[in-house]
Amino acid sequence: MSIRSQLLKGILDGCVLAVIEKEPVYGYILSKKLQQIGLQEISEGTLYPVLLRLQKNGWIHGEMRPSDSGPSRKYYELTEKGKSALDEITTEWQQIAAPVQLLLKGRSEDA
C-alpha cells in the first residue's frame, strides 16, 4: 500500500461525509465528486465498504430511488449523528493537520 493510500485511508470517512453533507448522492456520483477534487484513486470498489460502515455507524442513511436511466439507485444522506461525526472529524483533522504541516514545511525550509 502506498503512503498516499495509507494517508487517505485515515481521512476517507470524513471526505465521504463532507461530500454527502452537500447533497444526497449514490456511489458512482460520490466517486466522481471525490475524483473531481483530486482523489482519483478512490474507486467505487473502495467506497462501498466505507458507505456500509458509515451506514452501520448511523452516520448516513441509504434510500433506493428510481432512476430515469436504468435501475434504481441507492442515495446516501447524512444523518444528525453523521453531522456530529463530521464536525468532530473536521476538528480533529485541523488539530492534526496544522502541526504536521508546520513540521513538513519546516523540513523543506531546512533542506
Per residue in 44-100, pLDDT (tens digit) is 888 999 999 999 999 999 999 999 999 999 999 999 999 999 999 999 999 999 999
Stretch (H or E) spanning 67:
strand 60-67
Cβ-Cβ contacts under 8 Å for 55 (sequence gap 6 or more) = 61, 62, 76
CA 67 – CA 70 distance, rounded (Å): 6
pTM of the model: 0.88
User: Spelled out in words, what is the top-level CATH class assigned to the domain 3-110?
Assistant: mainly alpha
pLDDT band at 16 (very low <50, low <70, confident <90, very high): very high
Give pLDDT, residue 32: 94
State residue 25's pLDDT score: 97
Higher pLDDT, 110 or 56: 56
